[in-house]
Structure 1
Amino acid sequence: MDAKKIMIFAGVALVLFYVITQPANAANAVQSLLGWLEDGAEAIITFMRNLFA
């Protein structure tokens, strides 16, 4: 196995461990991430609207 596959496997295992052992915290982390992405998308949309207005 090469290093890339090992790192991907380790990352997936870590995420699964976190989701299984602390599901409420994992859900909060995902909600925070999605909220951050939503805020970023809204900021970009606002910028584009102001740029072309």
Structure 2
Amino acid sequence: MKKIVGILAIALVIFFIVTSPTGAAGFLSSLGNILSNAASSIITFFTSVFS
């Protein structure tokens, strides 16, 4: 069952990229910014705690 869900998830991602490449690129860009901001916030927090 896990394998089927994984294959379906990959197929959905490929479908999204093929049907809307601009939307997919925008989504990945936004996701990258969110992860970058989260990492920066965590680093700032620990820097403040241990200073």
Quick one: percent identity of the two aligned structures? 39
Q: For residues 2-41 of structure 1, what are the structure 2 equivalents within 5 Å? A: 3-41=1-39
TM-score w.r.t. the length of structure 1 is 0.94
Q: CA RMSD in A?
A: 0.4
Q: Which runs of 5+ in 2 are unaligned?
A: none
Determine the C-alpha separation between the residues in 2 that align with 1:16 and 1:32: 18
Determine the C-alpha separation between the residues in 1 that align with 2:49 and 2:34: 22
Number of positions where the alignment pairs a residue of Structure 1 with one of Structure 2:
51
Determine the C-alpha separation between the residues in 2 that align with 1:35 and 1:10: 26
Q: Which runs of 5+ in 1 are unaligned?
A: none
